[in-house]
Amino acid sequence: MKIVKVAIVGAGQVGFSIYKMLKAMEEVKIVGLADINPTAPGILAAVQNDVPISDDFRDLLSIKDLDVIIDATGVPEVHERLHRIKDDEIAVMEAKAANLLMAIFREKEELLEIKRVQGQLSAILDSMQEAIEVADIEGNIKFVNSAFSRITGITEKERIGQNIFEASPDGALATVLKTGNIVFGHRTQVGGSNAEVISNAAPIIVEGAMEGGVVVFQHFTDVMKLMEELKKSTTIIENLTDKLVQVTTSKYTFEDILGSSAEIKNCVDLAEKSARSNSTVLLLGESGTGKDLFAHAIHSSSMRREYPFIKVNCAAIPETLLESEFFGYAKGAFTGAVKSKIGKFELAHGGTIFLDEIGDMNLLLQGKLLRVLQEMEFERVGDTQTIKVDVRVIAATNRKLRDLIRQGKFREDLFYRLNVVEIIVPPLRVRKEDLPALINNLLVKLNRKLGKKVRGISEEAEEVLLNYDWPGNIRELENVIERVMVTTDEEILTKKNFIQHVNQNKIHPDRDIDLMPIDQMEVMLIRKAVAKYGNTVEGKRRASQALNISLATLYNKLKRAGPANIKI
């Protein structure tokens, strides 16, 4: 078997995914990775596995007997240069082509997973005391478990391949295949044996069509035991189905966070550092700034990225249901609880739970959440069994939690437990230099969504957007651009397209201020700076920069102004 030697250019998320895929293939040997970022995930993985790395992709071309270079950068200049300087014997593959291989590889993994699950189910069914027999729509017997042979004396080899209409024409399975109806409590003698049994049988329905049938039976004297085991099996299947439906993963990475302003760069840098730990993160910021995006990105860059990412919007769930949503409930815990339900914390085991709008949680549930954060254990509603979990918590809110603490609406101990790493996502009005990049990204996104061909906006239109303060932040920006694109067929959006949408909520500048003593004017400016950037340490640091004074000077002036004028 010939080993294909492969080198990868670009070790970001795309390159890292390709690296993981090829690493698992015996026919492929990864002989090098190149990326200008020494902390790219692919580079870090390569170092751990002793794969050669470089910050210059040209170094890869000197590798002896290299067969293929995969360009995962997505940069046309890099791809063109690779083609220009490589040897003729070396093939170059773009990441788009590699993505096709990844899709095929994922299909292969899914098929292997299906086979693994089939093996597990077969083992489970063989361990059951009840006899199980499965036939297709034509009556051909496809499966019997070990208990079938034990109860009837008929071996698996003898039974599989027979037709149920010949082997046991009066049995429950044959009746189901003839009528399509469920058969319950059918007493009969198994064809080909002397075993008298009680049978339950049901059709197998796939996408609305009957594909076959299954019968479960036991000796007549063991019928009560049969019913009990069936109930247990049904509960397990229902719980696993509920869990599968609810489990999700993160959708965004740090590459999806756009902007080159100092504010957003500092925010992303802190978030990337926090992703490398298991510490609880508190995301603060106005509505529409992208806190949700940061939560997804932190999870996708963490060691928990292969595990679930579960989001709970604390403001969207009624208070009476929050506890059961968080912790689940036991069967019979309240009226209508006909079966047990798995809670969000249990679903997030091993991964991350994102508690959005945490400031809207009631005080009683805050206490229970504090216990989970401290001890990583809880009980389902109506149950006494303690469930232990391993979950990383990310919380977010647009409310001022310190004010809520003073009002007695938020627990101070929970705040400090959540506020291990505090990330303040800046509003759009303080990072307006990022507007062009955000606008271009939204145009591309909305062109696909709306089927439009908008190429950009005019300078006058951009000036209108830059002069607006965006109280709704990026969410409002997306809303305005989509509204304009829906109502116009122009390829270049102009000032007239936007003026009516931003003017209706225009934040008017302050009117001229009457003459006043300089010290009063100073207090007013300090108050305005602190109000704009926030009363946190980071907010005061940015306020001092805006006022062109040192942080120590700002604290001195705040102290002299006193609490009557400015909150310290």
285: alpha, beta or left, given left = phi > 0 and alpha = psi -120 to 50? left
Average pLDDT of the residues in 88-101: 73
Q: Are 365 and 323 in contact (CB under 8 A)?
A: yes
Answer whether 4-103 and 254-420 agree in fold. Answer: yes
For the four alpha carbons of 402, 407, 408 and 409, in that order, the dihedral sign comes to negative
pLDDT of residue 248: 62
Q: The domain at 254-420 falls in which architecture?
A: 3-Layer(aba) Sandwich (3.40)
Q: Are 264 and 289 in contact (CB under 8 A)?
A: no
Q: Find the DSSP H helices in 514-550.
A: 518-533, 537-547
High-pLDDT (> 90) share of the chain, %: 22
Per-residue model confidence as pLDDT tens digits over 148-189:
888 888 888 888 889 999 888 888 899 999 998 998 888 888
Residues in the chain: 568
Lowest mean pLDDT among 70-79, 407-416, 438-447: 70-79
CA distance 185 to 7: 64
Domain 4-103 fold is: Rossmann fold (3.40.50)
Q: The domain at 128-242 falls in which architecture?
A: 2-Layer Sandwich (3.30)
pLDDT category at 244 given cuts 50, 70, 90 is very low
Residue 282 has pLDDT above 90, yes or no: yes
Per-residue model confidence as pLDDT tens digits over 458-498:
888 888 888 888 888 999 999 999 999 998 888 898 888 88
pLDDT category at 330 given cuts 50, 70, 90 is confident
pLDDT of residue 226: 47
Lowest mean pLDDT among 119-123, 282-286, 437-441, 478-482: 119-123
How far does Cα 373 stand from its chain's mean position? 21
- Of 420, 312, 326, 321, the closest CA to residue 371 belongs to 326
Residue 314 makes CB contacts below 8 A (sequence gap 6+) with 322, 355, 356, 357, 358, 359, 360, 361
Lowest mean pLDDT among 94-108, 400-414, 421-435: 94-108
Per-residue model confidence as pLDDT tens digits over 493-548:
888 888 877 764 444 444 344 556 777 778 778 877 887 787 788 888 888 888 88
Domain residue ranges of the chain, discontinuous segments joined by + = 4-103, 128-242, 254-420, 428-503, 518-561
- The vertex-222 CA angle with 236 and 163, nearest 5°, equals 80
- Assign 188 to helix, strand or coil: strand
Residue 234 has pLDDT above 80, yes or no: no
Per DSSP bridges, beta strands 183-189 and 196-206 are: antiparallel
Domain 428-503 fold is: Helicase, Ruva Protein; domain 3 (1.10.8)
Lowest mean pLDDT among 120-134, 210-224, 232-246: 232-246
pLDDT category at 227 given cuts 50, 70, 90 is low
- Of 394, 419, 418, the closest CA to residue 304 belongs to 394
Residue 173 makes CB contacts below 8 A (sequence gap 6+) with 133, 135, 164, 199, 201, 213, 214, 215
DSSP structure string for 5-73: EEEEE--SHHHHHHHHHHHT-TTEEEEEEE-S-TT-HHHHHHHHTT--EES-GGGGGGSTT--EEEE-S
pLDDT of residue 57: 86
